[in-house]
Chains A and B, each alone.
Chain A
Amino acid sequence: MITVACLIAAKDLRVERRSKIVTNQVLPFAGITMVSFAFALDKQNVLDTVAPGLVWLATMFSLLVIVQRTFAIETDDGALDAMRVAGVDPRAIFVGKAMALGFQLLVLEAMLFGAAVIFYGESIPSNNAFGSVVLLVTTMLSATCGLAAVGTLYGGLAAGFKGSETLLPLLTLPAVAPVLIGATKAVESAVGTSGAVVSEGWQWVGLLTLFAVAAVVGGALAFGPLIDD
């Protein structure tokens, strides 16, 4: 199963590398979302306080765009059905697509944190820089696993149906709300927003990890019945 999952992930990433949709369209979209937040809020002290939340909000919006894209390439040519007919394990399809999605999300998050440093003046506190960076990276990894699993599950569910573009946000955004809350709180602790300290952030990483494990296991089990029509 793992080998097939890796092959599917590699295939998805190869498609993305050749089409450059994520780099040419999704990353600029995420960037303009960050700039739009700055236009709307327009006060440095407000931006300092809400920057971690805005980063994750921009990630959620971009997640929807990437999930639409990742399933559009499958359904356009009936590739998902072809894989099922070829006897590919649906769990392998789920894990493979989630891995590719997760990798793209990590790249996107790194860029968004860079944008927060440049546009919103965010910085790592110098008194515990190592602890902050470890917390930040762990948060990104845990949150990404949860987001990728939920995105893949609901992307697969909505793929190929009329109105899937509008259904996907309705299903995904409530489901990933715990990630939005947990990841925002953890990043606030990592960057010291409003005097938050690093130690406070780890309980939120615990929640994110729990969510990620539940989403990956639940998603792998549910994906088969969802696409097996």
Chain B
Amino acid sequence: MTTIEPAKAEHDTARQSALPSQRSTATRGTRIIGIVAVVALGWLVAFGLGFSPADRDQDESVRILYVHVPTIWLAYLAFVVTAVSSAMYLFSKKKSLGWDRAAGASAEIGVTFVAVTLAVGAMWGRLTWGVFWQWDARLTTTALLFVTYIGYLAVRRLGGSHEQRAKRSAVLGMIAVVEIPLVHFSVKMWRSLHQEATVANLDGDTKMDGLMLFSLFVGVIAFTLLYVWLMLHRTRSMAMEDLLEERGLDEALAVRRAEAAETATAATSAPPTATMKTGSDS
């Protein structure tokens, strides 16, 4: 997917010289997952738009739910992964930045999925309720979740060292996840306009037509594969970005050191000339 050409490094460190000349975020495994994800998305289109029936009440607009529901489930999963990775970074002894990158990548994908949920939900609302947006508990709490994670991503870009970024965002990632139960149960807590959970409800009774449920299942599979594929690529590209930043710093340091060495050499050869000149002047 993403490829980078490493800068010509005259002052290679042992770590840098160990790098291959060209790196990519793709591997055989990610290519297979990517192909399977594309096939699953095609499968979703076939079932969502073709095979599954229209709803008795919602008519054709019910098809929007095959994207709306899986994306928000995957967004919840993505934010839980962010929280778990954040906890792993904070509480593990090794403090591996890999956990931090997994948290950041998962949050980015989660925010994208929530944006998709909100966008297709607004379309569904226009068709079913007659308006794009209602100031309803579920919609409001989902919008809050979206803004909270945009804040999380902004904190990741505050600057400082990678360790500072990891620690700050890990704390925030663990705090922000508390909103998920609030969003999911808001329909029950505030008797919202948004309907209650049909599949993920606590009474275990799924009130849905078999083929519709299967189409939803296909949607979940397709978006899960997409999530895994994006996660693998994004964590790898983040690792490369971090490496590039470190390499940039190393190179800048090496250039400054070389300049300092040149100045020092010039300074050691300059005094006799200056002395002679001073001597001739006097």
Chain B residues positioned under 8 Å from A171 (CB to CB): 151, 154-155, 172
Chain A residues positioned under 8 Å from B148 (CB to CB): 174-175
User: Could you tell me if B164 and A229 are in contact, using CB atoms closer than 8 angstroms?
Assistant: yes
With the chains together, A184 CA to B159 CA distance in Å?
37
Query: Is B9 close to A, CB under 8 A?
Result: no
Chain B residues positioned under 8 Å from A177 (CB to CB): 144
With the chains together, A229 CA to B161 CA distance in Å?
9
**Whole-angstrom distance from the CB of A80 to the nearest CB of chain B?**
14
**Whole-angstrom distance from the CB of A72 to the nearest CB of chain B?**
17
With the chains together, A171 CA to B175 CA distance in Å?
11
Q: Chain B at the A interface: mostly helix, strand, loop or mixed?
A: helix
Residue of A nearest to B157 (CB): A163
Q: A162-B159, A218-B175 are in contact. Are A170 and B151 (CB under 8 A)?
A: yes
CB 8 Å contact bits of B129-153 with A (1 = contact, 0 = none): 0000000000000001001101100
User: Could you tell me if A229 and B160 are in contact, using CB atoms closer than 8 angstroms?
Assistant: yes
Which of B151, B154, B178 counts the most A-chain CB atoms under 10 A from its CB?
B151
Query: Is B233 close to A, CB under 8 A?
Result: no
Determine which of B150, B159, B174 lies in contact with A170 in the assembled complex, contact meaning CB atoms within 8 Å. B150
Query: Is A21 close to B, CB under 8 A?
Result: no
**Whole-angstrom distance from the CB of A211 to the nearest CB of chain B?**
10
Query: Is B158 close to A, CB under 8 A?
Result: yes
Query: Is B167 close to A, CB under 8 A?
Result: yes
A147-199 contacts to B (CB < 8 Å): 157-158, 161-163, 167, 170-171, 173-175, 177-178
Query: Is A213 close to B, CB under 8 A?
Result: no
Chain B residues positioned under 8 Å from A162 (CB to CB): 158-159
With the chains together, A212 CA to B151 CA distance in Å?
21
Determine which of B144, B147, B159, B170 lies in contact with A161 in the assembled complex, contact meaning CB atoms within 8 Å. B159
Determine which of B147, B154, B168 lies in contact with A226 in the assembled complex, contact meaning CB atoms within 8 Å. B168
Chain B residues positioned under 8 Å from A225 (CB to CB): 90, 167, 170-171
With the chains together, A197 CA to B90 CA distance in Å?
47
Query: Is A222 close to B, CB under 8 A?
Result: yes
**Whole-angstrom distance from the CB of B239 to the nearest CB of chain A?**
22
Residue of B nearest to A214 (CB): B178
With the chains together, A228 CA to B178 CA distance in Å?
24
**Whole-angstrom distance from the CB of B162 to the nearest CB of chain A?**
12
User: Could you tell me if B90 and A174 are in contact, using CB atoms closer than 8 angstroms?
Assistant: no
Chain B residues positioned under 8 Å from A229 (CB to CB): 160, 164, 167-168
With the chains together, A69 CA to B147 CA distance in Å?
24
User: Could you tell me if B144 and A157 are in contact, using CB atoms closer than 8 angstroms?
Assistant: no
User: Could you tell me if B147 and A174 are in contact, using CB atoms closer than 8 angstroms?
Assistant: yes
Chain A residues positioned under 8 Å from B182 (CB to CB): 178
Residue of B nearest to A171 (CB): B151
User: Could you tell me if B171 and A226 are in contact, using CB atoms closer than 8 angstroms?
Assistant: yes
CB 8 Å contact bits of A59-90 with B (1 = contact, 0 = none): 00000000000000000000000000000000
User: Could you tell me if B158 and A174 are in contact, using CB atoms closer than 8 angstroms?
Assistant: no
**Whole-angstrom distance from the CB of A56 to the nearest CB of chain B?**
16
User: Could you tell me if B159 and A167 are in contact, using CB atoms closer than 8 angstroms?
Assistant: no
With the chains together, A162 CA to B158 CA distance in Å?
7
Chain A residues positioned under 8 Å from B147 (CB to CB): 170, 173-174
Residue of B nearest to A175 (CB): B148
User: Could you tell me if A222 and B175 are in contact, using CB atoms closer than 8 angstroms?
Assistant: yes
With the chains together, A218 CA to B172 CA distance in Å?
11
Chain A residues positioned under 8 Å from B158 (CB to CB): 158, 161-163, 167
With the chains together, A171 CA to B90 CA distance in Å?
21
Residue of A nearest to B137 (CB): A181
Residue of B nearest to A218 (CB): B175
B183-238 contacts to A (CB < 8 Å): none
With the chains together, A20 CA to B146 CA distance in Å?
38
Residue of B nearest to A150 (CB): B175
16 A–B contacts from the bound complex (CB under 8 Å): A157-B171, A161-B158, A162-B158, A167-B151, A170-B150, A170-B154, A173-B147, A174-B147, A175-B148, A218-B175, A222-B171, A225-B90, A225-B171, A226-B168, A226-B171, A229-B167
Residues of A within 8 A of B (CB): 157-158, 161-163, 167, 170-171, 173-175, 177-178, 214, 218, 222, 225-226, 228-229
The 7 closest A-B pairs by CB, nearest first: A171-B151, A174-B147, A174-B148, A222-B171, A170-B151, A161-B158, A229-B164
Residues of B within 8 A of A (CB): 90, 144, 147-148, 150-151, 154-155, 158-160, 164, 167-168, 170-172, 174-175, 178, 182
